[in-house]
C-alpha cells in the first residue's frame, strides 16, 4: 500500500483506520444502522468489499457482515496482546476491521468493519 498516496484522498479519521489500523469508537459509524440495498466499497481505493445482503445487526457497535466479496483478504494480527484475524482490502491493503467465528449462518463469520473504511453505493 502506498500510504502517502492513499492518505491524500482520506479524512484524518479514515487515514487512521485504513493506514494505521485504528478502530473507530463503537456505535459511532454512519453506516452502522444503514439498511439500504447496495454495495460497500473500500473508502481508499473503491474496491467492492461487501454486499448489503450479507449485513446483519451484531449489536457490537460496528457494521457486521457474515460474508465478504472476493476482494477481501485476511491476515494474522497479534497487536494489543492477543491474536485476531485482520480484514484488509485485497487491492490497496487498507485495514477494514477484524473477522470472528461468532457470526450467523450460513458462514458463522462476523466481519466487524469500521464505517470509516467503507463507502456505500445504493443499488
Closest CA to 30 of 20, 43, 19: 43
Cell of 57: 445487526
Q: Say whether 45 is catalytic.
A: no
Of 42, 45, 89, 112, which is the active-site residue? 112
Q: How far apart are CA 15 and CA 79, in angstroms?
A: 18
Q: How far apart are CA 87 and CA 73, in angstroms?
A: 6
Point out the residues that are catalytic.
112
Amino acid at each position: 500500500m502506498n500510504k502517502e498516496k492513499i492518505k491524500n484522498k482520506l479524512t484524518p479519521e479514515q487515514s487512521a483506520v485504513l493506514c494505521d489500523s485504528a478502530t473507530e469508537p463503537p456505535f459511532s459509524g454512519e453506516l452502522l444502522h444503514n439498511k439500504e440495498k447496495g454495495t460497500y466499497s473500500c473508502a481508499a481505493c473503491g474496491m467492492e468489499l461487501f454486499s448489503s445482503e450479507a449485513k446483519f445487526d451484531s449489536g457490537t457497535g460496528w457494521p457486521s457482515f457474515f460474508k465478504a466479496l472476493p476482494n477481501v483478504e485476511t491476515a494474522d494480527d497479534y497487536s494489543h496482546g492477543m491474536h485476531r484475524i485482520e480484514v484488509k482490502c485485497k487491492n490497496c491493503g487498507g485495514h477494514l476491521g477484524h473477522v470472528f467465528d461468532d457470526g450467523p449462518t450460513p458462514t458463522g463469520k462476523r466481519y466487524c468493519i469500521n464505517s470509516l473504511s467503507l463507502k456505500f453505493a445504493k443499488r
